[in-house]
Amino acid sequence: MTTPSHWQNASPGDLDHLLPEVWANDVEAAVAVAREAAPRWAATPLAARIEALRACQTAIHQHSEPLARRIAEETGKPLTEARGELGAVVAKFDLTIADAEQFIADRPVTDGPHPALVRTKPRGPAAVIAPFNFPIHLGHGAAVAYLLAGNPVLYKPSPHAAVTGAEYGALMAAHLPPGVLQIVQGWGETGHALCVHPDVRAVCFTGSIPVGTALARELAADYSKSLALELGGKNASLVCADADIAQASADIAAAGCLTAGQRCNATSLVFVHRSRLDDFLARLRADLALYRPGDPLAEATNLGPLISAAAVTRYRTLTALDVGDWLQRGRPLDQVDGKRGHYVEPAVVLCTDFDRLAASPLYREESFCPILTVVPFDTDAEAIRLHNHSPFGLSASIFTADADRFARIGNELRVGNLYQNLPTTFSPSTLPFGGHGLSGNGKPGSRGFIRFAAEEQAVQWREKVES
């Protein structure tokens, strides 16, 4: 199917409101510009790169509020969440600059047979394929790392967040040499062409499992190209017999409803000790009642719309499945606050037949909408088994008052991010962030990512011997 050369997004919170028109870019032309800019940017000293990125940081900080409003308008993310995203974007500069000073600087080696050092060299043009749910923050983290390591960046926003991406890119590019950061607009064909282009030497892709899997296979022959994959999760919270039910319920409700469940680390599975099941479900109903669909630009909104009509269709399909007792089936809403949009309510299903659940899309696929699936368990060992049955491995939370129990269970869970008495969505940029299994290839999408943005070179020499 031919993708459009230009398009116009409607706000998912107000379908009668159209955003500016967007035109797709020519990939070959963009890569040629990046290839020409690469030697000059690579030769720029790290201190000068840092100075340029500091200027970018100031510009983003000064425009944080209009960018946050654009995110809310174009993606449906509640304004309060969008402001939080911009705060993380600004902070990411500081964290990544600190990483650059640690990992990009030359490192002397004194314990070998000859004087030596390890230095880094840029990989070359890097492609960043950004998602709609964190339209700036997720792609920005990789982009800043690649830039500080000396690579020009080809940044492709999600087509559902194209205007947001263009505005972010304009602010950044104004403080960088020509061609060092380009926004490349387009749909799947454009992203694919960028990733497989032989002159693109690093790729950071955030998106779906089928596309990420296909990319990994296609790029396997070009094995020197760096590929970082963040492909989502089927994240679980384990509520143990000794858990603080009030805290667990509040955190799980938030982790299931933030960004309308459209987060890679959103909670979608909840394993609850059978002795606490009734108390937990009663509390969860009350907590979910606090999340009411609303206009994403309204200050009080904590549950915005889904991104598209296709996302609403997926929600309808999942909530129609016969997998258990739907305690709160949820429903799409034609209008909210007088505006047509892709609004849905939170949903909860209790599943006592795990085998039936495990065979359904509600378990095997990332939901990316506010649906919580609750499964009872009797022993910690059973909870571990149920959790590890999933092919995903991004985030998990364990709610328990016992530090030893947390350590014991957590040591058995196959995830990249593990939390005690915190929501699965609590992922600060001060830590690495990556998943295993279907969730990705483990390369951290946050702290430390710069290690994948450059190549190491080992240098040694023979000392002059005095005659």
389 and 263 inside one domain? yes
Structural tokens at position 289: 């009642």
> What is the C-alpha to C-alpha distance for residues 46 and 304, in angstroms, rounded to an integer?
41
How buried is 126 (Cβ within 10 angstroms: 0-12 exposed, 13-18 middle, 19+ buried)? buried
In a domain, residue 355? The reply is yes
Write out the H or E segment, with its range, that includes residue 245: helix 245-257
Do 42 and 89 share a structural domain? Answer: yes
| Whether residue 224 sits in one domain with residue 252 | no
Q: What is the residue type of 349?
A: V
Candidates 204, 264, 351, 369; catalytic one: 264
In a domain, 212, yes or no: yes
End-to-end CA distance of the chain: 74
One of 230, 257, 345, 351 is an active-site residue; which one? 230
pLDDT at residue 339 in the model: 96
Which are the contacts of 260, defined by CB distance < 8 A and separation ≥ 6?
Answer: 76, 303, 304, 305, 306, 344, 369, 370
CA distance 365 to 64: 34
DSSP 293: B
Active-site residue flag, 230: yes
Cα Rg of the chain (Å, integer): 23
Q: Residue with structure tokens 């100075």?
A: 51
Cβ atoms of 299 and 80 closer than 8 Å: yes
Whether residues 222 and 294 fall in one domain: no
Is 436 within a domain? no
Whether 466 is in a domain gets the answer no
pLDDT of 463: 85
If asked whether residues 283 and 378 sit together in one domain, one would say: yes
- Is 433 domain-assigned? no
Number of structural domains, the chain? 2
In a domain, 371, yes or no: yes
Catalytic residue status for 56 = no
Using alpha carbons, select from 24, 8, 230 the residue that is nearest to residue 128: 230
**Both 245 and 262 in a single domain?**
yes
Residue-range definition of the domain harbouring residue 328: 235-428
On whether both 262 and 222 belong to a single domain, the answer is no
Check whether residue 102 and residue 186 sit in a common domain.
yes
Q: Are residues 272 and 189 both part of a single domain?
A: no
The answer to whether the CB of 339 falls within 8 A of the CB of 107 is no
Q: Determine the Cα angle at 431 with ends 430 and 433, to 5°.
A: 130
pTM: 0.96
Measure the CA–CA gap between 235 and 264, rounded to whole angstroms: 8
- Asked, for residue 71, whether it belongs to a domain, the answer is yes
Please indicate, yes or no, if residue 467 is contained in any of the structural domains: no
Q: Are strands 181-183 and 153-156 parallel, antiparallel or unpaired?
A: parallel
- DSSP characters over 313-336: HHHHHHHT--SSEEEE---EEEEE
Do 394 and 328 share a structural domain? yes
Phi, psi of 445 (to 5 degrees): -95, 15
Distance CA 269, CA 309 (A): 24
Same domain, 398 and 276: yes
The CATH number of the domain where 239 resides is what? 3.40.309.10
Q: From first to last of the 467 residues of the chain, give the pLDDT tens digit.
A: 567 899 999 999 999 999 999 999 999 999 999 999 999 999 999 999 999 999 999 999 999 999 999 999 999 999 999 999 999 999 999 999 999 999 998 999 999 999 999 999 999 999 999 999 999 999 999 999 999 999 999 999 999 999 999 999 999 999 999 999 999 999 999 999 999 999 999 999 999 999 999 999 999 999 999 999 999 899 999 999 999 999 999 999 999 999 999 999 999 999 999 999 999 999 999 999 999 999 999 999 999 999 999 999 999 999 999 999 999 999 999 899 899 999 999 999 999 999 999 999 999 999 999 999 999 999 999 999 999 999 999 999 999 999 999 999 999 999 999 999 999 999 999 999 999 899 999 887 889 999 999 999 999 999 876 65
> CATH code at 89?
3.40.605.10
* Whole-number pLDDT of residue 167: 98
Show the tokens assigned to 346: 């939170």
Same domain, 367 and 449: no
